[in-house]
Amino acid sequence: MLKLTTAGESHGRALTAIIEGLPSNLKVEKEEIDYYLALRQSGYGRGARQKIESDRAEIVSGVRDKLTLGSPVCIVVENKDYKNWEEYMSPYGADVSKRRLTKVRPGHADLTGLFKYDQTDARNILERASARETAVRVAAGTIARMFLRELGVEVAGYVRSVESVSDEKEYTFDEIRAAKTSELFMPDRELCERAKKRIDEIKEAKDTAGGVIELHVKGMKSGFGSCMSYSEKLDAHLAGAIMSVQAIKGVEIGLGFEAARRPGSRVHDEIYYRDGNFFRKTNNAGGIEGGMSNGQEIVLRAAMKPIPTLMRGLDTVDFDTKEPCRAATERSDVCSVAACDVILESVVCFALAEKILQRLGGDNMREIKERWDKLPR
């Protein structure tokens, strides 16, 4: 069973991912992991933290001569900013009176986490709840991406909207993949410039912006997931993986909520047969029917809320004094929708790898490829 465990705090020494259940003889390229780590740090509207960190992965176990061994793979991403925070964050003794946070921030885990974990300093909550944690999820997801590629499965995403600037056009898989060359990962360059202008306006107002990311999966064969055991539904598994990412507040598959506004005749994908093959002319289901992949492109959309740390602050209460105040401001982005696209691609890659290994089993890549090749399209 494929399993990912991450550890680390935003301003701690490092972030760590441990991947269990990877088959042996999967080729791992560190340069590709570093490429996606850098891509995660890019995008118009990012904050000062990205100028401090230049993420690189260190593989400390489970890989020899670029091939997995079948043992747990451990990846470490160092936090370069730790040298500025060691006095306050060291596990061996720290000045916890400094950098203490009690002006809890709306939209964050601060207040609920203080109660749940019996704390009085929200820093003990926010350091782990921070989206900085996703750096190692991108690293692990990139290894899953390499696994999928060996089977002919590819994942690509793009930014469909930034706040009120929305792209309603449909794109081919290759066009979506090429969107990474724009500053906001938007295929339409004119819309990208409009979105950048809107981000500038929002930054001037000391506010933040969210958006919608669309993901496509190409090459996934049919039958992954289940209609028999509802805990094993592929759409539920993918939606859960996407919702596990910080700031995601909604997921759609295929038509999503639009399906509720149409009659059934304009929703369900009619089935045809020609030359020995069943096929559909449309893909409103987004590649998943009855909780199982049906061989078509899987289409997913995710809604990312605006980043809850606003430089102008929001009304809140000081946890210590119980007096009204303005929320604390940590260093933050104005818009990180492009980064979120990279993160979501990574978690989807890992979730798909989980489902494939669950169904096919196998301890090495040769076994898995042989079993994959025997499956119908």
Residues 139-161 have pLDDT tens digits of 999 999 999 999 999 999 999 99
Q: What is the mean pLDDT of residues 54-59?
A: 95
Residue type, 139: A
Contacts of 42 (CB under 8 A, 6+ apart): 50, 183, 338, 339
Quick check: 371 and 362 in contact, CB under 8 A? yes
Which residue in this structure is represented by tokens 């196998």? 362
Average pLDDT for the chain:
96
**The model's pTM:** 0.96
Q: CA-CA distance, 288 to 250, in Å (whole number)?
A: 18
Using the predicted structure, report yes or no on whether residue 330 has a pLDDT greater than 90.
no
Q: What is the mean pLDDT of residues 355-374?
A: 97
Please calculate the CA angle 296-297-299 and round it to the nearest 5 degrees: 130
Quick check: 325 and 269 in contact, CB under 8 A? no
State the pLDDT confidence band at 48, using cuts at 50, 70 and 90.
Answer: low
Which residue in this structure is represented by tokens 């593989």? 59
Q: CA-CA distance, 144 to 350, in Å (whole number)?
A: 5
Give per-residue pLDDT as tens, 216-273.
999 999 999 999 999 999 999 999 999 999 999 999 999 999 999 999 999 999 999 9
Q: What is the maximal distance between C-alpha atoms in the chain?
A: 74
Question: For residue 300, what pLDDT is reported?
Answer: 98
State the pLDDT confidence band at 53, using cuts at 50, 70 and 90.
Answer: low
State the pLDDT confidence band at 168, using cuts at 50, 70 and 90.
Answer: very high
Using the predicted structure, report yes or no on whether residue 331 has a pLDDT greater than 70.
no
Using the predicted structure, report yes or no on whether residue 50 has a pLDDT greater than 60.
no
Given phi > 0 = left and psi -120 to 50 = alpha, else beta, which region is 45?
A: left
Quick check: 345 and 141 in contact, CB under 8 A? yes
